[in-house]
Amino acid sequence: MLKGKDLIDPKDLSLEEYEEIFKLAEDMMENREKYSEIAKGKILATLFFEPSTRTRLSFESAMLRLGGGVLGFSEAASSSAAKGESLGDTIKVVSAYGDIIAMRHPKEGSAYLASKFSKYPVINAGDGGHQHPTQTLTDLLTIKRKLGRLTNLRIGICGDLKFGRTVHSLIKALARYEGNSFVMISPKELDIPMYIKEELDRIGNVEYIETTSLEEHIEDLDILYMTRIQRERFADKEEYERLKDSYILTVDKLENAKEDMIILHPLPRVNEIDYHVDEDKRAAYFDQAEYGIYARMALIALILGLVSDNGAKCEKSNKEVIVNKEVKCNNKNCITNAETQPFKRIYKIEGEEFYRCGYCDKAIL
């Protein structure tokens, strides 16, 4: 049941709910006219404190194609955050102006914080280097359409696995489908965060390897998911300069890849996929960007209750949540270290001995 739900993390959706979104998105692709007025009178607020092309514009396009309206801002500098307003106060105010909020913010855990202050559903459009669940909807819809399944896939994920929020969300979602395995390809400095590996271990039976070599593994892959090195997240600019050209996919590197492998990329690309690769039939990244509109149309329609819901079951939480203990999170990129209001949410997962920050998911030591 998606009506009224926030989408902060890919695990907020059950696999049944994913299926419901994809079914509706595909119907919307085929029958655009049928849905062209269902959101009449509804407003989507797009609050983008960080740059975006695809996510913001596809959210806005999605709402306009459903017959609704949009308002918002595309950079922190044109909001009152520039005058020192807290995120909590901004959200309290803006949630009176719209019916649903899509927010991007540079701090990890900011989307969860926003959902606690908002009267209306909040969709995480990217919170720092943490999660990007609607990119995952886009990615899964693309995989389903191109390969016809979301199970029994060997997925190579290459580039900046440390800061790449699309990667974190994609792994969290695909690991829940049967038979999927991962080849995580990155420089050692940019390997996948511990909390994602812990998530895979918790799910159990998810095979993954970590490597620095794309060439050694490309022949085994059903999907190659390329990502850019995330310049804006580096504290040390020299380190970025050293790592920025770690992986560049060229036509000759594809020689040993399967004929039916697909190449995905959340975009924007910098130089990690050579332009000649665009002509290869395996390059699916521009279709991927287009499917994002339909994934987001379906998501908005279901969250706002504009279409009949098939009653898909919600995800059962395995978290023991504590809300009366102040968070002292040692992740400097966490929203709890950027704002001064009291943050009171930590949680413990069944089987773990330690608590995690309820905003950014990092272990509290």
Site for ligand CP in 237-266 (CB under 6 A): 266
d(CA 182, CA 209): 6
Interface stretch with ligand CP, choices 53-61, 156-164, 252-260, 310-318 (CB under 6 A): 53-61
Q: Which is nearer to ligand CP, 56 or 217 (CB)?
A: 56
- Residue 45: HSE in the Cβ half-sphere, 13 Å Cα cutoff: 22
* Position 284 contacts ligand CP (CB under 6 A): no
With the C-alpha atoms ordered 302, 8, 197, 247, is the resulting torsion angle positive or negative?
A: positive
Q: Which residues are paired to 124 by β-bridges? A: 103
* Position 271 contacts ligand CP (CB under 6 A): no
Place of tokens 């190579």: 156
**To the nearest whole angstrom, how small is the minimum distance from the Cβ of residue 259 to ligand CP?**
27
Q: Which is nearer to ligand CP, 135 or 336 (CB)?
A: 135
The residue from 141, 267, 283, 357 that contacts ligand CP (CB under 6 A) is: 267
Q: Which is nearer to ligand CP, 95 or 169 (CB)?
A: 169
Q: Which is nearer to ligand CP, 107 or 345 (CB)?
A: 107
* Position 135 contacts ligand CP (CB under 6 A): yes
Site for ligand CP in 112-131 (CB under 6 A): 126
265, two tokens: 């990329």
Q: How far is CA 17 from the centre of its chain?
A: 16
Binding-site residues from annotation for carbamoyl phosphate: 54-55, 104, 132, 135, 267-268
Interface stretch with ligand CP, choices 26-34, 46-54, 150-158, 318-326 (CB under 6 A): 46-54
The residue from 97, 152, 256, 268 that contacts ligand CP (CB under 6 A) is: 268
- Site for ligand CP (CB under 6 A): how many residues? 9
Interface stretch with ligand CP, choices 50-58, 172-180, 273-281, 357-365 (CB under 6 A): 50-58
Q: Which is nearer to ligand CP, 267 or 307 (CB)?
A: 267
**To the nearest whole angstrom, how small is the minimum distance from the Cβ of residue 82 to ligand CP?**
21
Q: Which is nearer to ligand CP, 59 or 347 (CB)?
A: 59
* Position 10 contacts ligand CP (CB under 6 A): no
Interface stretch with ligand CP, choices 47-55, 151-159, 169-177, 322-330 (CB under 6 A): 47-55
327-361 burial string, b = 16+ CB within 10 Å, else e? bebebebbbbbbeeeebebbbbbeeeeebbbbbbb
The residue from 54, 233, 258, 348 that contacts ligand CP (CB under 6 A) is: 54
Q: Return residues touching ligand CP (CB under 6 A).
A: 52-55, 126, 135, 266-268
